[in-house]
Structure 1
Amino acid sequence: MVSSDDVVIGACRFFLRHATVDMDKVALDLAISRATLYRVVHSRDRLLGDVLWRLAEGMLRRAREQRSAPGVDGVLEITRHFSAGLLESAPFREFLRTEPDTAARVLFTASGGVHRRAVEFQCEILRDLATEEGWSRTDLDHLAYLYVRIIESMLYAELLTGRQPDAELAERAIRALLQPV
């Protein structure tokens, strides 16, 4: 029996080679039937969400490990490392270019679950900041949500509005958001 983790790992490898997830070909690569693949992952959107999140989470963890600055500057440093890596990812950029509707659905709605997991991860990062800065942890979920939405609007500017990403504008907005009240 193939596990969900096995499928996601196989689909990640496929995505990195082809900038998409083709369910028939992923099933073939994993030597399972298409029916078994769907039984394990339920839908292509869900599998794409799991693939994109697995790849993004690895990048976020590496960015977090590279953090050298304390406080808000350190949080922004994590975001800079992550954003640069994502914007340089040829498979990801190709996916956004060739499947914009699917990308928007998977990245921004519950069908892919990427946004929710990004907010949870950002909340973890902000918990560290709250401890360092002596903030109350009460509003961290809301701050994490807004933080991620600002970063998404920068990272996916071309997909959402046809504009080029503006990292400086996003950073100014985030600094304003993270200023203690």
Structure 2
Amino acid sequence: MSTQTPLSMALSQRQADERATPLTAFRMARRWWLEGRRLNLSQLAEELGIGRATLMRWVGNKDLLMGEILWSLYKGIYDQVIEKAKADHPERGIEFLGQIYDEVNLQLINAKPMHDFLASEPQWGLQLLTSNVSGLQKRLIDEWEALFQEEISAGRINPEMDANSLAYYIIRIGEGAVYCDLICGRTPEPERAGQAFRLLVNGHSR
């Protein structure tokens, strides 16, 4: 009499609905990163049960895959902070935007996975975060440009530069505040970044 059960059979072979997909590859890579593991595409492909060529076709390259992982962290923080700012400042305007900027920068400084990643791979990490090799920079600019454009169109802010340029410069300032310990050995100063943000966006600091 067979001792196999539906569970033992399911565990002994990969089921059709458990086959690796681009999304499962991303989820596994993201889990590794959150656990502090280095991202190795050959090991990832092996664990997924696929060829490295297949994985590369799915993710593009290591920079782009890491960009998706970093974006998932940023977007989670960003969306949560925006919802809180909407509740705190229903009138929107400069204080609404400033709260988002301050809180996002603060959470990034305190994000342990980000801190561990930059400590273990500072050169690669900074390249991913401060250039557009991973696509992250463009996504950040697009998000902030949309926010600024909405506030400008509603007449709630009146900056001296267009929304796209404004988004680019406030992101660069934020990078200097969040990653300055790695860039130039200075202690992160999110408060100073917040002051610069308000000067650029509305012509005065709080």
2:128 and 2:23 map into 1 onto residues whose CA distance is: 19
In 1, distance between residues paired with 2:81 and 2:99? Answer: 8
Distance 2:83 2:155 in 1: 17
2:195 aligned with 1:172, yes or no? yes
- The 8 Å contact of residues 101 and 194 in structure 2, kept in 1 or not, is answered as no
Q: What is the rounded CA distance, in whole Å, between the counterparts of 2:63 and 2:157 in structure 1?
A: 40
* Cα distance in 1 for residues equivalent to 2:147 and 2:37: 29
Distance 1:151 1:85, change over 3 A: same
Partner of 2:122: 100
Q: Is 1:133 aligned to residue 133 of structure 2?
A: no
Which deviations, in whole Å up to 9, do the C-alpha atoms of 1:121-142 show, x marking residues without a partner? 1112212322251648x81011
What TM-score, normalized to structure 1? 0.89
How is 1:61-140 mapped onto 2 (pairs within 5 angstroms)? 61-67=79-85, 68-69=88-89, 70-130=92-152, 131=154, 133=156, 135=158, 139-140=162-163
User: CA 1:19–1:118 in 2, change beyond 3 Å: closer, same or farther?
Assistant: farther
Distance 1:13 1:96 in 2: 17
Distance 1:30 1:127, change over 3 A: farther
In structure 2, stretches of 5+ residues that fail to align are: 1-18
Comparing 55-64 and 22-31, the one that deviates more: 22-31
Q: Is the 8 A contact 2:41 2:62 kept in 1?
A: yes
Partners of 2:45 and 2:77 lie apart in 1 by 26
Number of the residue aligned with 1:4: 22
Partner of 1:38: 56
CA distance in structure 2 between the partners assigned to 1:6 and 1:132 by the alignment: 44
Q: Deviations for 1:9-61, whole angstroms, at most 9, x for unmatched residues?
A: 22211111125422233324433222221121121111111110111111111
Identity of aligned residues (%): 27
Aligned CA-pair RMSD = 2.3
Runs of at least 5 residues in structure 1 that lack an aligned partner in the other structure: none
Q: Which moved more, 1:56-65 or 1:23-32?
A: 23-32
The DSSP-based 3-state class of the residue aligned with 2:50 is: coil
Q: How far off its partner does 1:63 sit?
A: 0.8
Please identify which structure carries the higher helix content: 1
